[in-house]
Structure 1
Amino acid sequence: MSVRGCLFAVLGAGLLAGCVTPAPRAPLPPAARAAAEAQQQARETALARAADWGLQGRVALANDGRGGSGRIDWRQTGAAYAVALSAPVTRQSWRLQGDADGARLDGLEGGPRVGDDAVQLLRETTGWDIPVIALAAWVRGARAPQAGPAQLQFTADGRLAQLQQDGWTLEYGDWRPQPGPGLELPMRISAERGAARVRLVVDAWNTGGTDP
Structure 2
Amino acid sequence: MFTAIGVVRVDVFPLGHIGVGYLFLSFVERGWRHHPPQGVALPWLIAGTLLPDLIDKPLAWAGGLLPSGRSLAHSLLFAIPLIVVISGWLWQHRKSAEGIGFSVGYGSHLLTDVVLPLGTPFDRMRFLLWPLYPAPVYESEIPTTLELTESLLLEVPLGFFIVGLWVVDGRPGSKAVHRLGSQVKDWVRSRLG
TM-score by structure 1 length? Answer: 0.28
Which of the pair has the greater relative contact order for Cα pairs under 8 Å at 6+ separation?
Answer: 2
Greater helix content = 2
TM-score by length of 2: 0.30
Larger strand proportion, structure 1 or 2?
1
Higher Rg of the two aligned structures:
2
